[in-house]
Amino acid sequence: MKTVFIKNVLLNGTKTNIRISGNLFSEIDPSLVPTENDELIEADNFAIVPPFYNAHTHAAMSLLRGYADDMALFPWLNDYIWPFEAKMTADDIYIGTRLAILEMIKSGTVFYNDMYWMMDSVWKATDEMGIRACLGVSFMDFLGEEKIQKSFDLVEEYLHKSPMIQMSVAPHAPYTVSDKLWIRCADFAKQHHTIMHFHLSETEKEVKDCVAEHGMTPVRWLDSLGVLGPNCIAAHVVHVDEEEIQILKKRGVAIAHNPVSNMKLSSGFFKSALMEQSSSNVLIGTDGCSSNNNLDMIEESKFAAMIAKCNYGSETLPVNTVIDWSVKNGPKVFGLNGGEIAVGKLADALLINMNNERFVPNFNFNSNWIYASSCEAIDTMICNGKIVMRNRHVNGEEEIISSAKQCAKKWM
Amino acid sequence: MKTVFIKNVLLNGTKTNIRISGNLFSEIDPSLVPTENDELIEADNFAIVPPFYNAHTHAAMSLLRGYADDMALFPWLNDYIWPFEAKMTADDIYIGTRLAILEMIKSGTVFYNDMYWMMDSVWKATDEMGIRACLGVSFMDFLGEEKIQKSFDLVEEYLHKSPMIQMSVAPHAPYTVSDKLWIRCADFAKQHHTIMHFHLSETEKEVKDCVAEHGMTPVRWLDSLGVLGPNCIAAHVVHVDEEEIQILKKRGVAIAHNPVSNMKLSSGFFKSALMEQSSSNVLIGTDGCSSNNNLDMIEESKFAAMIAKCNYGSETLPVNTVIDWSVKNGPKVFGLNGGEIAVGKLADALLINMNNERFVPNFNFNSNWIYASSCEAIDTMICNGKIVMRNRHVNGEEEIISSAKQCAKKWM
């Protein structure tokens, strides 16, 4: 069995040696010595940390980066985003997803929770690039029964194809999915033990429209349908009251907070302090590149902390809680044995260059990591025991960049 | 005269050739050819843009990065920041400033507007590292007459020592500077044609206290003293009403907006839309590393745009206006012939790697630059015709990092 030996690395402030056997951390001990069977990483100037989980994105939308900005929501969607997406082929989605995964690896994300369509293309890109994902196939009533059934079939087809890639059902949002389809998605998810991933209470308009149509807010409506449970990941969750936060908590729903997207689209500020106080199961996501416009989880985590502090006081959401949201809660929600550099855990890791100027001085590593650093400080990413980036180079990145440039030309 | 030739570079979307003679852009023309006298930069995959102006910082506070976070303002100041600063020597300030300038160069900042003390140390670090600055010597009544007079002497001594480094008077804030000292600083600044740089209306408490003490808000109080003018740079300016914004505009005061610091310390959100509508002379600054915790003007500009959009609508502060604030308004305020890549302008420039994943696709360069990119995409910085960073390496950076690490040990 192939082993990797990380020599003299800083783990939680102390120098040690780490061996990875297969896809797990097998030994952590300062007295370990490398053998001939070890692939050796000299890590004298590096710290090791668990990577980020991006809890809500639409990876292929990397192709729409900078296509339309600084606009009101509806002209942005109607005149730019939807017409662009209508032209996207399966190959475009493959190319856009590879570009997104390249950016995610470079910025320290080892797992992403996606929602899009033509998810066979997304699966292929993810499988090739070697990171983890949960791929949500979108459901909306307007697609019609034939496409809806095909989407359920696609989830089933890919369900067990790779231990690295989960599949999920993704009923788009309360305003695009009927009660019947919500229940059908939830039943399917229960039956197949999958995640159910959806947008929830993102804008004030959504809440008002839901009250007008169903006589209750989106959270209460979904709860009344009996579809909320611990397999649910609700993205955004901006316009909710305290009782709704308690409903979500009671049902075990995980909440994917997307600070930049909510700010850029003027959706509103997340109720950070209420979520923190209620110990809700909060994750952090970047959303798609069209409303961000990157997939950088360091930046996203900093935004989460800063809006919490500005709205609720400077002691709100201290850095270790932000790291829980962007690193540690993800593995729990997705049922993965990760999120920690410890013996027996999945060998997912980042090596951070402690000579990068953003880590000097090093009074508080976590504070430097979230409040000061940039992706450039991440030298190496290991995923499932395999080195996917070393010295900031990802295999094949030149071709990924050139094919994405070529692909985008048809929209120029 | 030494010349630099930048070959086949993307300028505002078009490939061209650029020659720098001395400290100016002397020729820009796609038909130019390099000669033997030119230092040649092959720039096939690069775009050229003017660098950032950081309009408010305390550079030496890089040494306090991560020393204290997630705390309420007064325990943070009283128990951590001030005791740390009380121990800082002239050498510490030199070392901290070099660390800060290294980080600024790496993240595309060519000019910084500083406020601190022992400014001879700050001057030395800046002069050695070859970027531009305006160095503000702090004034507060509690220092006493002897130190105050020495500070005025220091400003005079360094006033014309380098064409790259301006000196300014920096009366700290309305709550630390008496009417007499404000007037003395303003008179000195007028007499010596310097900038006057100060904190203004940063917190709600400051405004309340000023009203209690002087019967008016800080802006109105300073205006009543007759000290406001076009040589003034007021940092923060969070808690102001519309009339105060008009007073500042009428007096020609430039406003240094510090989005991250205001959020991290829970000071409040900048009145972005009112500032934009009033065409106030707004600049962007990072503040010091203890309240940010970096000096990254890409990130700071993105924060400025995002808080504007979240609070006032997604069309507020479009990307080109953000660039005016963080790049173009600076040279005007500081009387420099820069902020633009054009013949006859100061040869300050960044070369951006267009193969960096954050610039793919390239539908809108400015949007990619501010909303998507990271410092890693900046390959080269030219300041005053000299190359200060190439291929992301700054001369002497290893020594700067190691001496800063060593220096910080006394606080560990």
For residues A144 and B396, what is the distance between their CA atoms, to the nearest angstrom?
A: 64
Residue A65 to residue B372, Cβ atoms within 8 A: yes
When computed from its CA atoms, the radius of gyration of chain B, rounded to whole angstroms, is 21
Token duo for residue A408? 């985008």
Provide mean pLDDT across the span B88-94: 98
Which residues have C-beta within 8 Å of that of residue B391, sequence separation ≥ 6?
Answer: B379, B380
Position A35 pLDDT exceeds 80: yes
CA B314 to chain centre: 26
User: What local confidence, expressed as pLDDT, does residue B266 receive?
Assistant: 97
* Model pLDDT, residue A180: 98
* Helix orientation angle between A179-192 and A218-225, rounded to the nearest 10 degrees: 60
Contact A266 B63 (CB under 8 A): no
Q: Architecture of domain A3-50+337-394 in CATH?
A: Roll (2.30)
Distance from CA of B68 to the nearest CA of A (A): 8
Rg of chain A in Å (alpha carbons): 21
**B294/A69 Cβ within 8 A:** no
Q: What is the pLDDT of residue A251?
A: 97
Determine how β-strand A132-139 pairs with β-strand B3-11.
unpaired
Mean pLDDT for A195-206 is: 97
Question: CA B11 to CA A378: how far, in whole Å?
Answer: 30
Topology of B52-333 in CATH?
Answer: TIM Barrel (3.20.20)
Name beta bridge partners: A98: none
Q: Do A72 and B362 touch (CB under 8 A)?
A: no
Q: Which of A168, A102, A95 is nearest to A133 (CA)?
A: A168
Question: What are the Cα distances from residue B332, in Å, to A27, B53, B274?
Answer: 59, 11, 21
How far A77 CA lies from chain B's nearest CA (Å)?
13
Q: What mean pLDDT do residues A246-262 have?
A: 98
Contacts of A314 in chain B (CB under 8 A): 70-73, 76, 264-266
Q: How far apart are CA A154 and CA A118, in angstroms?
A: 9
Q: Which two tokens stand for residue B304?
A: 């400025």
pLDDT of amino acid B162: 98
Say how far apart CA A265 and CA B311 lie, in whole Å.
10
- DSSP calls for A32-64: ----TTEEEEE-TTEEEEPPEEEEEE-GGGGGG
Name A346's Cβ contacts closer than 8 Å, sequence gap at least 6: A23, A24, A25, A331, A336, A337, A338, A384
Nearest to A201 by CA among A267, A155, A263, A247: A267
Domain boundaries, chain B: 3-50+337-397, 52-333
Share of chain B above pLDDT 70, in %: 100
Tell me: pLDDT of B104 over 90. Answer: yes
Give me the long-range contacts of B181-186 (CB less than 8 A, separation at least 24): B181/B139, B181/B140, B181/B141, B181/B148, B182/B222, B182/B225, B182/B227, B183/B225, B183/B226, B183/B227, B185/B139, B185/B227, B186/B225, B186/B226, B186/B227, B186/B229
- DSSP β-bridge partners for residue A75: none
| DSSP secondary structure letters along A214-225 | HSS-HHHHHHHH
- Write the DSSP assignment of B14-75 as a string of letters: EEEEEEEETTEEEEE-TT----TTEEEEE-TTEEEE--EEEEEE-GGGGGGTTSS-S--HHH
Does ipTM surpass 0.85 in this model?
yes
Residue B376 has phi, psi (to 5 degrees) of -60, -25
Residue B172's nearest CA partner among B94, B240, B77 is: B77
User: Do B193 and B151 meet the contact criterion of CB atoms below 8 Å apart?
Assistant: no
Give residue-wise pLDDT tens across range B341-390.
999 999 999 999 999 999 999 999 999 999 999 999 999 999 999 999 99
pLDDT at A74: 84
Q: Which CATH class is domain B3-50+337-397?
A: mainly beta
Predicted confidence (pLDDT) per residue in A137-177, tens digit: 999 999 999 999 999 999 999 999 999 999 999 999 999 99
Distance CA(A75)–CA(A53), nearest Å, equals 31
DSSP labels, B201-219: S-SHHHHHHHHHHHSS-HH
pLDDT greater than 80 at residue A73: yes
The sign of the CA dihedral A53, A58, A63, A66 is negative
Find which of A295, A314, A412 to mutate to test the B interface (most B CBs within 10 Å of its CB). Answer: A314
Shortest Cα distance from B107 to chain A (angstroms)? 10
Asked if omega into A259 is within 30° of 0 (cis), the reply is no
Q: Is the pLDDT of residue B127 over 90?
A: yes
**Distance from B3 to chain A by nearest Cα, in Å?**
31
**Cβ distance of A294 and B358 shorter than 8 Å:** yes
> Measured between beta carbons, which residues in chain A are less than 8 angstroms from residue B412?
361, 363
The token pair that represents A118 in the structure block: 């033509």
Q: Which residue of B has its CA nearest to A361?
A: B405
pLDDT at B1 over 80: no
Q: Which of B294, B355, B397 sits opposite A401 (nearest CB)?
A: B355
pLDDT one-digit tens code per residue, B7-36: 999 999 999 999 999 999 999 999 999 999
Q: What is the pLDDT of residues B149-188, one digit of tens each?
A: 999 999 999 999 999 999 999 999 999 999 999 999 999 9
Residue B62: list chain A partners with CB under 8 A. Answer: 360
* B56-76 pLDDT, tens digit each: 999 999 999 999 999 988 889
Amino acid letter, B381: M
pLDDT tens digits, B182-232: 999 999 999 999 999 999 999 999 999 999 999 999 999 999 999 999 999
Res A279: pLDDT: 87
- Identify whether the C-beta of residue A112 lies closer than 8 Å to the C-beta of residue A135: no
Strand-pairing partners, residue B350, are B49, B381
d(CA B169, CA B171): 6
Q: Is the peptide bond before A384 cis (omega within 30 degrees of 0)?
A: no
pLDDT at A212: 98
Q: Residue B282: in which H helix or E strand, if any?
A: strand B282-284
pLDDT tier at A64, thresholds 50, 70, 90: very high
Is B263 in contact with A307 (Cβ distance < 8 A)? yes
Mean pLDDT of chain A: 97
| Number of residues written out for chain A | 412
Cross-chain Cβ contact A66/B106 below 8 Å: no
Contacts B106 to A, Cβ<8 Å: 357
Enclosing H/E stretch for A125: helix A119-129
For chains A and B, CB pairs below 8 A equal: 221
Chain B residues whose beta carbon lies within 8 Å of the beta carbon of residue A102 = 357
Label residue A412 by pLDDT band (50, 70, 90): confident
Closest to A88 in 3D by CA, of A379, A410, A323, A333: A410
8 Å CB contact of A67 and B372: no
